[in-house]
Amino acid sequence: MNVTASAPAKVILTGEHFVVYGEPAVVMAIDCYVHVTVSERLDRAVHIVSDLGISGLYAGNKYSPEKRGPQAENVLRPVNIAAKTVLDLLEKKTGLEIKVDSQIPVAAGLGSSGALAVATVAAVGKLFGTDFSRDELIKLSFDSEKFVHFEPSGIDQTISSSGGVMVYRKGKRPNPIEVKSEIPIVIGNTGVPRKTGDLVNAVRKRLNDFPDVLEPIVHAAGDLSTRAVKALLDGNLKRLGELMSINHGLLSAIGVSNEPLDRLVYAARKAGALGAKLTGAGGGGCMIALSTLEDREKIADAIREAGGATIIAKKTNAGVQVWVNE
């Protein structure tokens, strides 16, 4: 028997980084997915094959690379951590064969590692007859996310397991919001690699160096997210776009935008985006432009001309899904 789970990527519409300090963020699942397929092995090893052309075998904590050498292990270890968490919880003394197929660019601000962790936990659970609740999925995928992000707020696993749009506040129950309108998004990927944990640490340092200047900005960002929720509920995309652009300015102030991101943000605005901002940790990775349905291609062309790779995406209400193949 083998089992597949799929989990969606996310975009943060407003409030990344500020969410680490207790402010609300607005996050949306998008129709771009990772698929994880698992089956049982008779030995106790975990063998992982990723469509990034990386594969390797874990026997306990010992890693033996197959394709792409030991440094590529960074991509596979979080999968092993998530799988092991479930094996230990369910007291299964068996091995696993895991195959990862992902449409989500890695380390680019779209929550690829959160989606991968959630899908792995859901698939391994189902393989042994357990359907985890949303809360259990979030909790069980945390150690895997910690390996990638050091101190994650939990926003990525939460949205990836539930889908839809939600207001997320660290340590609080997420608040799903029912958004009736389409939220057409054009994603621009700078292709510049970065690590979320490094950026979170850099923001913390800047906040420590300039508390009087930056703390009001943190609170302003929280207020901005509350206004963005109202705009979403009212279906007022023009206002949401304006708030997203202001949010980009606040993210620049805390030091997480850079020239490649700004170039794509300005190209999108010039091409008629309702608003544009970096999304996720910044420092590279992706930006998002809010668009009307008609303007998506025009905005995507402008982003490509400015050097970005593009994904045209929209909201998905589907969170993690899991099914038995045979």
Q: Which residues are catalytic?
A: 156
Interface stretch with ligand PMV, choices 12-20, 58-66, 77-85, 132-140 (CB under 6 A): 12-20
Nearer to ligand PMV, 52 or 89 (CB): 52
Backbone angles phi, psi at 313, to 5 degrees: -135, 165
- Smallest distance, Å, CB 67 to ligand PMV? 25
Q: Which of 33, 279, 28 is nearest to 159 (CA)?
A: 28
Taking alpha carbons only, the member of 49, 25, 28 closest to residue 38 is 49
Q: Which of 281, 299, 302, 303 binds ligand PMV (CB under 6 A)?
A: 281
Q: Which stretch binds ligand PMV (CB under 6 A): 63-71, 148-156, 233-241, 268-276?
A: 148-156
Task: Tell me how far, at minimum, the Cβ of 180 lies from ligand PMV, in Å.
Answer: 26
What are the helix (H) ranges across 9-141?
Answer: 73-89, 112-127, 134-140
* d(C-alpha 148, C-alpha 116), whole Å: 11
Quickly count: other Cβ atoms within 10 Å of residue 151's Cβ: 12
The contacts of residue 227 (CB under 8 Å, 6+ apart) are: 239, 243
Residues ≥6 apart with Cβ < 8 Å to 112: 9, 34, 102, 104, 105, 106
What tokens does 265 get?
Answer: 């943000």
- If the CB atoms of residues 30 and 38 are measured against ligand PMV, the closer one turns out to be 30
- Which residue type, as a one-letter code, is found at position 2? N
Residue 126, both tokens:
């189902």
Q: Please, which of residues 100-139 interact with ligand PMV by CB under 6 A?
A: 109, 111
Supply the DSSP symbol for 105: P
Could you say which of 155, 159, 246, 289 contacts ligand PMV (CB under 6 A)? 155
Which window, 43-51, 153-161, 208-216, 264-272, contacts ligand PMV (CB under 6 A)? 153-161
Token pair 């794509």 is found at 264
Q: How many residues bind ligand PMV (CB under 6 A)?
A: 15
Does 248 bind ligand PMV (CB under 6 A)? Our answer is: no
What's the min distance (Å) between Cβ of 280 and ligand PMV? 3
Query: Of 56 and 163, which has the nearer Cβ to ligand PMV?
Result: 163
196 touches ligand PMV by CB under 6 A = yes
Among residues 80, 156, 261, 290, the one that binds ligand PMV under rule CB under 6 A: 156
Residue nearest to ligand PMV (CB): 280
262 closest CA partner among 239, 278, 243: 278
Q: Which of 274, 320, 308 is nearest to 35 (CA)?
A: 320
Q: Exposed, middle or buried by CB within 10 Å (0-12, 13-18, 19+), for 202?
A: middle
| Cβ proximity to ligand PMV, 17 vs 84, nearer residue | 17
Instruction: Give the x-and-dash track for 16-55 against ligand PMV (CB under 6 A).
Output: xx-xx-----------------------------------
Q: Can you read off the two tokens belonging to residue 206? A: 């800047």
Question: Which positions touch ligand PMV (CB under 6 A)?
Answer: 16-17, 19-20, 109, 111, 149, 152-153, 155-156, 196, 200, 280-281
